[in-house]
Amino acid sequence: MTKKERYQFVIDYFEKHMPVAETELTYDNPFELLVAVILSAQCTDKRVNMTTPDIFKRYPTAQKMSKATFDDLFPLIKSISYPNNKTKHLIGMAQMLMEQFNGEVPMTVEELIKLPGVGRKTANVITSVIDAQPNMAVDTHVFRVSKRLALVSEKASTPLAVEKELIKYIPKELIHKAHHWLILHGRYTCLARNPKCAECGLKEMCKYYKEENT
């Protein structure tokens, strides 16, 4: 199977079995999504979704959050991983949105990564989810699944290298959706420790499955 055929097999499978693929973070606008994604670093979406309603109720806009103190915001975040850093990041992010972007969330990766707490992965999530831009955020699930399915080469050892290979082969108009396909497949089927290979429709072309069963 050529790499092109491998990608087509995966795309065909997900288009049939996961026609709707979206973020599991709860949000109503770009600012809320940005807050949620910053909080989601090394934390489950489920935990973030339990935390954000109180945050959004008290700080619904960048303007409101920019005026928060550490002691105001920290109690709302303390159940999340790395609450100290994330509290500082959220306040700094909101202040920069007010100072440089008129309180609006910018929609380019280059602008977003200037914000505290926002790296390339977060910026890719924001632009692909909100604006359907062809940006591929590579988290631990995307990294693992793309490696196991041999969508990317062995030498692709960093998230950026994996991102570049994926966007090279996935049709531009599907990249924002493929991001969620890979994440959700990794979250619920292709688990890190005990992947559910028996119920996976991709196992016949999966490099990991063949190696584990030969």
Residue 164, C-beta contacts closer than 8 angstroms, at least 6 positions apart: 156
Q: What is the pLDDT of residues 168-208, one digit of tens each?
A: 999 999 999 999 999 999 999 999 999 999 999 999 999 99
**For residues 184 and 126, is the Cβ–Cβ distance under 8 A?**
no
Q: List the domain range (segments joined by +) for residue 183.
A: 3-22+135-212
Give 120: exposed, middle or buried? Use CB within 10 Å, 0-12, 13-18, 19+.
middle
Binding positions for [4Fe-4S] cluster are: 190, 197, 200, 206
State the Cα angle at 144 between 19 and 133, rounded to 5°. 50
Catalytic residues: 121, 139
Give the per-residue pLDDT at 214: 76
Q: Which residues of the chain have pLDDT under 50?
A: none
**Structure tokens of 76?**
């709302």
Domain count, the chain: 2
Q: Which of 120, 205, 133 is nearest to 173 (CA)?
A: 133
**Structure tokens of 143?**
């990294």
Domain edge (last residue) among 88, 104, 131: 131
* pTM of the shown model: 0.92
Residues 34 and 127 in one domain: yes
Give the per-residue pLDDT at 1: 85
CA distance 48 to 25: 7
Residues 126 and 170 in one domain: no
